A and B are shown apart, each in its own frame.
Chain A
Amino acid sequence: MKRTILALSLGLVCGLGAHQGWFVTHRPRPVDDLESQWEWMREDLRLDETQVARIRALHEQSSPQLLALARRVAQMRREFAAFEKARRSSGEVDFLEFARYVDQQRALDRECVDSTRRLVAATVDVMRPEQRRQYLASLGPEFEAVAASVPKT
């Protein structure tokens, strides 16, 4: 009986030890900063150092414009929330102001989409065909148009 209990305990301890050891050594690191973002791109897309450096430079180049756009988007959303609040409380709609808002929103959306697509297109230009496919597939169907516009060489 003693031998059986010993063997069962040994099996349990070894199993748990193996589990914990494997999990701790292979556990993916959390994505909490930009470095882990680049690390993901490098590993997942199998980018070499030159590609990483060029892609990084492209992203850093477009970041001031993206930042400005992100601020404008946030501001537009705040304005629209205020407009909607006023409409709900007073029950009146200033159609002229609303039309102006819609126009501005459309222009801003277009600008955002264009700048993002430009960045994505410039990024895939640095990649090899299989990397491009994987990169665009991971971004989702919104970027299929970019994939279509990039020459398949």
Chain B
Amino acid sequence: MEKPQDPLDSLLDRWGDTTLEPSEHLEAETWRRIAHAATTAEPERRAGWLACIEVAFARPSFTVAFVAACVLLGLFLAEARVSHLQEARSRQVVQHYLRLIDPLVEDAPGVKVVAEVAKP
């Protein structure tokens, strides 16, 4: 039994016989498009980000939230700075006090501090 002729077979046969010659401008065109895509993609992306930021700040609620976040960050950093200074001060106070009560602490100001106490 003979198989029915598939129209695709003749097309495939013809494609196998012919060799496609690439256009002489193909390579140049390809590089031109790559260069174009490279130069336009970055500014477009940047413009996209800027547009996003502008859209966000156009909403008053976002602006208020942003300012509040800045204030909170400022307060947090200030508190961190203050507690760091408090720790340093506590150490300094203890050293100062030890110099006051212990004549063996090796530091000349010890004598000075004790003398301060002795003042009327």
Give the interface centre of A14, A41, A71, A119 by most chain B CB atoms within 10 Å.
A14
- Bound together, the chains give a CA A70 to CA B81 distance in angstroms of 37
Q: Report the count of interface residues on A (CB-CB < 8 A).
A: 52
- Bound together, the chains give a CA A72 to CA B58 distance in angstroms of 75
The reply on B37 being an interface residue by CB < 8 A is no
Pick the contact of B78 from A26, A60, A139 — CB < 8 Å?
A26
Q: Report the count of interface residues on B (CB-CB < 8 A).
A: 43
The reply on A95 being an interface residue by CB < 8 A is no
Known A7-B63, A7-B67, A22-B74: A66·B114 in contact at CB below 8 Å: yes
- Bound together, the chains give a CA A119 to CA B97 distance in angstroms of 12
Known A22-B75, A63-B118: A11·B93 in contact at CB below 8 Å: no
Q: CB-CB < 8 A to B110: which residues of A? A: 70
The stretch of A29-37, A81-89, A96-104 in contact with B is A29-37
16 pairs, CB–CB < 8 Å, chain A vs chain B: A4-B53, A14-B74, A15-B70, A18-B71, A20-B78, A22-B78, A23-B82, A27-B85, A28-B89, A34-B100, A40-B97, A73-B104, A74-B108, A119-B101, A138-B90, A138-B94
5 smallest beta-carbon distances between A and B, as pairs? A15-B70, A19-B74, A11-B70, A15-B74, A22-B78
